[in-house]
């Protein structure tokens, strides 16, 4: 006989199993609740976009565009590696700025990057992405960081916040020249990637993960010393506002982020509990990007994305596994007649909003009680031939095992109504 080989998921693509889903839902519900408080609106976006959208926004010389994108070359389309570009495309295409000058938006969904899979790093991963478009004020930057911190805290996670400013097209070229000069004098000691980056994307050298490069940039010129007057003012105001909102942070002059579109404020929320996958959320300002994508001129924006896999791992690691909801009642029908009697009761219970479970296998009481345990039912209703004859079922409290008689009625709707009342009272 032919042997059928099992088909496995693609490397870096993962199933989120039923026992994990409660944790994911907790992350999503907490996020949605906070977004409501901050007046953010949801937007849902396509997963495929024209490749050019990402090349033009994220930047040709970035890791993402150079080597991590899933592209259908013949069709010129790409699975989105991040959400900002798609969200801005939608913003521009639908003229959202006309309807509302400041848009506060969020979106949740899968992203795709061809990276080396590790714990907390996958090829399909999920982000919660938040963007505020149309506001230049530094208070917005601080408000977004405060939002991120509130969300992480309400999930029970301890993380640190690092902040930097990358300046603007006015001050960055000058910094870039200084940095390139510094790197070129030391090019021998740089890793191969950074040798190349010195000309293609020198700022990236600042956050190279290789120890040699890290040591070498310790004394490199700091972007914070090169900020123009406007950027300086903006960044000082961001910090002041963080202080007055009571948000803890530290400055990290080496944080440059892996996407070219950032200007001014950038920030990352970091954890020490996920090895080298330290960033749980990251983002920043992108004041020139909307115009660069064909949108209205001088339209500023800022946003950040949280990695949901990393949040879920942290929650699970902190023994914070969220239990799935319990069933209210498991109906154990013993015998063919009881099965026929019970199925409509279960249906009516569900109609009345009760989480009711039953199976039709007609197995022993012991086997069915085991099943009641698996669905973590609070109560069991037990009905066999004798109970049918006496018009009395048995309700068992599955926690303390206490049992009471429960009168059965016709039609099923009536029994269900009586039972729902009883379950609510217990």
Residues in touch with ligand ATP (CB under 6 A): 82, 113, 115, 120-122, 125, 127, 258, 277, 279-282, 305, 307, 309-310
Least Å distance, CB 303 to ligand ATP, is: 10
Least Å distance, CB 274 to ligand ATP, is: 9
* Residue 14 DSSP SS3: coil
Least Å distance, CB 10 to ligand ATP, is: 14
* Beta-strand relationship, 124-133 and 103-112: antiparallel
Which single residue brings its beta carbon nearest to ligand ATP?
307
When the beta carbons of 81 and 393 are compared against ligand ATP, the nearer one is 81
Place of tokens 């206490």: 402
When the beta carbons of 127 and 415 are compared against ligand ATP, the nearer one is 127
When the beta carbons of 115 and 139 are compared against ligand ATP, the nearer one is 115
Place of tokens 């950032």: 262
User: Within 13 A of 153's CA, how many CA atoms are on the CB side?
Assistant: 11
When the beta carbons of 258 and 335 are compared against ligand ATP, the nearer one is 258
When the beta carbons of 28 and 115 are compared against ligand ATP, the nearer one is 115
When the beta carbons of 138 and 307 are compared against ligand ATP, the nearer one is 307
Least Å distance, CB 117 to ligand ATP, is: 8
Dig out the tokens for 351 from the structure. 């109609």
When the beta carbons of 209 and 401 are compared against ligand ATP, the nearer one is 209
123 to each of 106, 141, 273, how far by Cα in Å? 22, 29, 21
Residue 306 has φ and ψ, to the nearest 5°, of: -105, 140
Least Å distance, CB 157 to ligand ATP, is: 12
Least Å distance, CB 248 to ligand ATP, is: 18
Task: Decide: 82 and 111 in contact? Cβ < 8 Å.
Answer: yes
CA dist 329 and 342 (Å) reads 12
Dig out the tokens for 139 from the structure. 């208070």
Nearest to 410 by CA among 341, 355, 359: 341
Least Å distance, CB 211 to ligand ATP, is: 17
Cis status, amide bond into 307, omega within 30 of 0: no
Least Å distance, CB 42 to ligand ATP, is: 19
* Residue 119 DSSP SS3: coil
When the beta carbons of 113 and 172 are compared against ligand ATP, the nearer one is 113
246 to each of 162, 215, 255, 282, how far by Cα in Å? 15, 33, 22, 19
Q: Per-residue DSSP letters for 28-39? A: HHHHHHHHHHTT
* Residue 143 DSSP SS3: helix
Nearest-5° Cα angle at 44, 38 to 50: 130
CA dist 264 and 104 (Å) reads 19
* Residue 40 DSSP SS3: coil
Task: Decide: 219 and 189 in contact? Cβ < 8 Å.
Answer: no
When the beta carbons of 114 and 186 are compared against ligand ATP, the nearer one is 114
When the beta carbons of 202 and 393 are compared against ligand ATP, the nearer one is 202
Least Å distance, CB 81 to ligand ATP, is: 8
Least Å distance, CB 373 to ligand ATP, is: 35
Chain-centroid distance, C-alpha 23: 11
């Amino acid at each position: 006989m032919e042997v059928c080989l099992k088909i496995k998921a693609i490397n870096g693509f993962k199933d989120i199993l039923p026992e994990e889903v409660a944790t994911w839902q907790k992350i999503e519900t907490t996020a949605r609740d906070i977004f409501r408080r901050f007046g953010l609106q949801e937007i849902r976006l396509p997963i495929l976009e024209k490749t050019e959208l990402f090349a033009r926004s994220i930047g040709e010389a970035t890791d993402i565009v150079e080597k991590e994108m899933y592209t259908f070359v013949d069709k010129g389309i790409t699975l989105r590696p991040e959400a900002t570009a798609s969200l801005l495309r939608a913003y521009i295409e639908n003229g959202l700025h006309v309807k509302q000058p400041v848009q506060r938006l969020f979106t949740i969904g899968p992203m795709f990057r061809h990276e080396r899979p590790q714990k907390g790093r996958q090829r399909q991963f999920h982000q919660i992405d938040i963007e505020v478009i149309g506001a230049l004020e530094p208070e917005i930057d601080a408000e977004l960081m405060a939002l991120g911190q509130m969300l992480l805290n309400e999930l029970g996670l301890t993380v640190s916040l690092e902040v930097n400013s990358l300046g603007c097209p006015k001050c960055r070229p000058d910094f870039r020249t200084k940095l390139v000069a510094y790197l070129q004098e030391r090019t021998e000691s740089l890793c191969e990637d950074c040798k190349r980056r010195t000309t293609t994307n020198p700022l990236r050298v600042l956050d190279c993960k290789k120890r040699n490069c890290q040591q070498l940039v310790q004394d490199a010129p700091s972007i914070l010393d090169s900020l123009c007057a406007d950027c300086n003012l903006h960044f000082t105001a961001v910090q002041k506002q963080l202080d007055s909102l009571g948000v803890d942070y530290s400055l990290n002059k080496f944080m440059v982020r892996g996407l070219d579109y950032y200007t001014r404020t950038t920030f990352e929320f970091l954890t020490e509990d996920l090895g080298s996958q330290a960033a749980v959320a990251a983002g920043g300002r992108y004041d020139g990007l909307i115009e660069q994508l064909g949108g209205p001129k001088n339209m500023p924006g800022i946003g950040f994305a949280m990695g949901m896999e990393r949040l879920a791992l942290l929650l699970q690691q902190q023994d914070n596994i969220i239990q799935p909801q319990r069933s209210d009642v498991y109906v154990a029908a013993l015998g063919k007649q009881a099965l026929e009697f019970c199925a409509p009761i279960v249906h009516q219970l569900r109609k009345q909003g009760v989480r009711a479970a039953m199976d039709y296998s007609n197995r022993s009481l012991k086997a069915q009680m085991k099943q009641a345990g698996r669905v973590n039912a609070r109560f069991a209703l037990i009905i066999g031939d004798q109970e049918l004859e006496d018009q009395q079922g048995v309700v068992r409290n599955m926690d303390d095992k206490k049992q009471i008689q429960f009168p059965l009625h016709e039609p099923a709707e009536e029994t269900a109504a009586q039972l729902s009342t009883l379950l609510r009272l217990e």
